[in-house]
């Protein structure tokens, strides 16, 4: 079994959305959905740009899809050759995870079409495609290759004022509606054959039409280069795109491919998890690592990763807590410069978090639940549509998921603890921690008749239960934030004047004493027979089986949570909540307590989020139940192979790739099966290898040093690299 490739035979238009995700090519700057070159907007093609957003009228803001520079239509003797056409005899599509190579082969009978394309990991602005036509029937071939403006948008259109220019390279420029950001795409073509050429401009774009008489047995090869720049990259994006295209053409497809492959090899040397003993697991692990690595912002040092990566516009292209809790662990242990970028994004969006807190009447930093550029809150008051009334449903994600600020402080502190690199704290990270702690202080409730402080009207990770009091996860992650703020003095022990200057600048001296008091008073979790109550009153909710609640659905797209959702009045939860707390703070809980809570909450968890399974798997390893963890690992790691995960929340399409699951797969393998822990910047192992694996190896970096971790059933060892 090839554990580096995924292939699918046949073409069904109904699979276009899922296949676009499954066979995605991306390089951090943009994502190219895995649909055929000739696909129109009804088949969901897209070149989704990182960090470029637009809002059309009163619809949701979302990332912008650029004009498609790798659009190719082929016809033979006037017959269109399309994957979903009636003439198609056979069609296969595949992705090679080692180097991010998309492949297709389509047999039309009189013509066989093969192509390979990629989003260059060596040049983030470049896309390339090599197409070969094997002609079996004499006649006339026409190839229409160019830049398509038939753009798929969920809440668009986002581009207008299209301008075209033709020459050795084609050029298309347009502007977004909200901020007038210029998006420029250029395309150049390299053919190993002569053909009559015509330039055509129409409502669907700018195209070069190549026409040639062919004989049976003839083979034609076409290399297509496309480059994308925006005015956020520099002052002349159109010229920059054209220059990049012509450079690629001058170097040739093979040279571009070689540089791209070399870049991917460098990535794999730093992070590849090798699993021996189960080929399906190896394939799933490679898929997960590919999908997370291909959306990492290597072209910038201050960007994060949206919840659906670069697979399209779902979830508004927003950055969630996924960034700190699920993407961050793999990167901080293998490619810390990317983890640093994720956190620099939070440093640079601190002004937006300060503004949001002020709007709600609090001090400090209240980060956006769905963060778009500048830290702008992308989450709306009405985030779900009722499938029966078709009316928007009031949700409270943006208002009540206050744990987001503490999550960010947690990751900021973890970065220093794992890497030993204090510079991020010096360059704004310490300020972020202090402002997040100030928000937690401002948001706390105190009571005249009690020494305890608590948090009411919140939402924890389990979004099916809104506006609860004393969510155990929220209280514990906030306590971590408060302790991180207090710990900063020790971090800056060798230069206390720098720390004291920051306190003076923020007028923080009084807050520091209040934070110390709050940390000592914050309400701990309540227990019943050793089971932690997820929030006040949770044990009083209807306790019924998951299948009972599922059976109450009248439409499979129904939203389970909120005031009218089928789960809201029951103990059925969306995802790991108490168990997530135990996974993040393992030293707080004994093995028996973890097991008791796992056994209680797992049957009551719908796993309605792709964030859930990995937290249960991590704690299953902790309990010495690697076989339980194995099933959850396979579910997590294979999600972008199977196309799993929810596709709808009410009437809102939420499909796409699952970077959080991808990061979760690494977490299960490294932190669960291998039991990797960092103590004072030094790695140690507590392995729980499942019987399905014979050997597990992976590289890590910490404190400027590299190690290779190896785990077998005989034990584990850490070797210097």
Catalytic residues: 463
CA distance 630 to 621: 9
DSSP letter, residue 537: T
- 294, 338 contact by CB (below 8 A): no
CA distance 455 to 440: 9
| DSSP notation for 255-290 | HHHHHHHHHHHHHHHHHPPEEES-HHHHHHHHHHHH
Rg of the chain taking only CA atoms, in angstroms: 26
Question: Distance of CA 40 to CAs 126, 205, 559, Å?
Answer: 21, 12, 31
Tell me which residue of 709, 716, 712 sits closest to 334, measured CA to CA. 709
Residue owning tokens 């550029």: 373
CA distance 613 to 636: 6
Name residues whose C-beta falls within 8 Å of residue 250's C-beta, 6 or more positions apart in sequence: none
CA distance 151 to 583: 42
Containing 14, the helix (H) or strand (E) segment is none
Q: What strands, in cross-sheet order, belong to the sheet with 705-712?
A: 274-276, 695-702, 705-712, 715-720
Tell me which residue of 614, 645, 646 sits closest to 630, measured CA to CA. 614
Torsion of CA 279, 281, 287, 291, to 10 degrees: -160
- How does 23-32 read in b/e, with b if 16+ C-beta sit within 10 Å? bbbbbbbbbb
Containing 416, the helix (H) or strand (E) segment is helix 403-419
- 561, 569 contact by CB (below 8 A): no
Number of H helices and E strands in the chain, helices first, is: 22, 32
Chain-centroid distance of CA 578 in Å reads: 24
Question: Distance of CA 461 to CAs 394, 428, 442, Å?
Answer: 18, 27, 21
Task: Return the biggest CA–CA distance within the chain.
Answer: 92
CA distance 313 to 194: 40
Name residues whose C-beta falls within 8 Å of residue 547's C-beta, 6 or more positions apart in sequence: none
Structure tokens at 9: 């035979």
Chain-centroid distance of CA 75 in Å reads: 38
- 697, 674 contact by CB (below 8 A): no
């Amino acid at each position: 079994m090839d554990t580096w490739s995924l292939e699918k035979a046949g073409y069904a238009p109904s699979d276009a959305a899922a296949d676009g995700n499954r066979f995605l090519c991306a390089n951090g700057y943009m994502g190219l959905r895995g649909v055929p070159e000739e696909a129109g907007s009804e088949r969901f093609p897209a070149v989704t740009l990182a960090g470029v957003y637009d809002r059309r009228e009163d619809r949701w803001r979302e990332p912008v899809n650029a004009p498609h520079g790798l659009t190719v239509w082929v016809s033979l003797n006037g017959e269109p050759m399309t994957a979903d056409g009636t003439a198609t005899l056979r069609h296969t599509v595949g992705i090679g995870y080692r180097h991010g190579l998309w492949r297709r082969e389509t047999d039309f009978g009189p013509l066989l079409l093969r192509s390979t394309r990629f989003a260059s990991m060596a040049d983030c602005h470049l896309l390339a495609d090599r197409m070969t036509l094997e002609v079996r029937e004499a006649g006339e071939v026409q190839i229409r290759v160019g830049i398509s403006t038939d753009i798929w948008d969920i809440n668009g259109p986002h581009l207008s004022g299209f301008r075209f220019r033709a020459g050795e390279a084609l050029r298309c420029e347009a502007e977004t509606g909200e901020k007038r950001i210029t998006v420029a795409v250029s395309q150049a073509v390299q053919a190993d054959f002569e053909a009559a050429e015509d330039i055509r401009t129409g409502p669907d774009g700018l195209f070069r039409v190549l026409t040639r008489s062919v004989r049976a047995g003839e083979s034609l090869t076409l290399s297509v280069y496309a480059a994308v720049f925006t005015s956020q990259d520099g002052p002349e994006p159109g010229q920059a795109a054209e220059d990049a295209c012509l450079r690629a053409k001058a170097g040739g497809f093979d040279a571009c491919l070689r540089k791209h492959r070399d870049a991917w090899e460098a990535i794999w040397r730093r992070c590849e998890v090798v699993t021996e003993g189960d080929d399906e697991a190896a394939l799933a692990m490679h898929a997960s690592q590919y999908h997370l690595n291909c959306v990492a912002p290597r072209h910038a040092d201050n960007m994060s990763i949206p919840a659906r990566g670069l697979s399209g516009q779902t979830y508004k292209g927003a950055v969630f807590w996924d960034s700190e809790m699920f993407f961050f662990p793999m990167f901080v242990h293998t490619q810390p410069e990317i983890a640093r970028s994720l956190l620099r994004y939070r440093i640079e969006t601190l002004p937006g978090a300060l503004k949001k807190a002020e709007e709600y009447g609090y001090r400090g930093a209240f980060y956006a639940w769905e963060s778009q550029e500048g830290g702008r809150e992308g989450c709306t008051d009405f985030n779900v549509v009722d499938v029966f009334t078709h009316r928007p449903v009031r949700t409270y994600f943006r208002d009540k998921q206050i744990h987001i600020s503490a999550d960010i402080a947690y990751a900021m502190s973890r970065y220093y603890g794992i890497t030993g690199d204090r510079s991020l704290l010096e360059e704004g990270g310490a300020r972020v921690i202090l402002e997040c702690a100030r928000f937690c202080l401002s948001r706390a409730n105190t009571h005249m008749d009690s020494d305890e402080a608590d948090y009411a009207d919140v939402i924890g990770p389990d979004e099916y239960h809104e506006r609860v009091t004393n969510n155990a996860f929220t209280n514990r992650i906030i306590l971590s934030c408060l302790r991180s703020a207090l710990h900063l003095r020790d971090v800056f022990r060798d230069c206390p004047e720098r720390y004291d200057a920051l306190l003076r600048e923020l007028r923080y001296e009084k807050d520091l004493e209040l934070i110390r008091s709050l940390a000592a008073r914050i309400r701990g979790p309540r227990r019943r027979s050793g089971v932690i109550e997820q929030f006040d009153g949770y044990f009083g909710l209807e306790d019924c089986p998951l299948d009972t609640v599922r059976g109450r659905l009248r439409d499979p797209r129904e939203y389970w949570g909120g005031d009218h959702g089928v789960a809201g009045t029951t103990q059925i939860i969306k995802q790991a909540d108490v168990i997530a707390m135990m996974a993040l703070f393992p030293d707080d809980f004994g093995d028996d307590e973890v097991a008791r809570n796992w056994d209680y909450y797992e049957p009551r968890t719908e796993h309605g989020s792709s964030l859930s399974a990995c937290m249960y798997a991590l704690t299953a390893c902790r309990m010495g139940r690697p076989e339980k963890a194995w099933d959850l690992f396979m579910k997590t790691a294979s999600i972008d192979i199977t196309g799993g995960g929810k596709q709808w929340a009410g009437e809102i399409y939420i499909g796409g790739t699952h970077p959080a699951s991808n990061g979760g797969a690494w977490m299960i393998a490294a932190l669960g099966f291998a039991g990797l822990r960092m103590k004072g910047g030094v790695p140690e192992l507590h392995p729980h290898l499942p019987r399905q694996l014979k050997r597990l190896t992976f590289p890590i970096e910490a404190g400027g040093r590299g190690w290779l971790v190896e785990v077998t059933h005989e034990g584990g060892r850490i070797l210097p690299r």
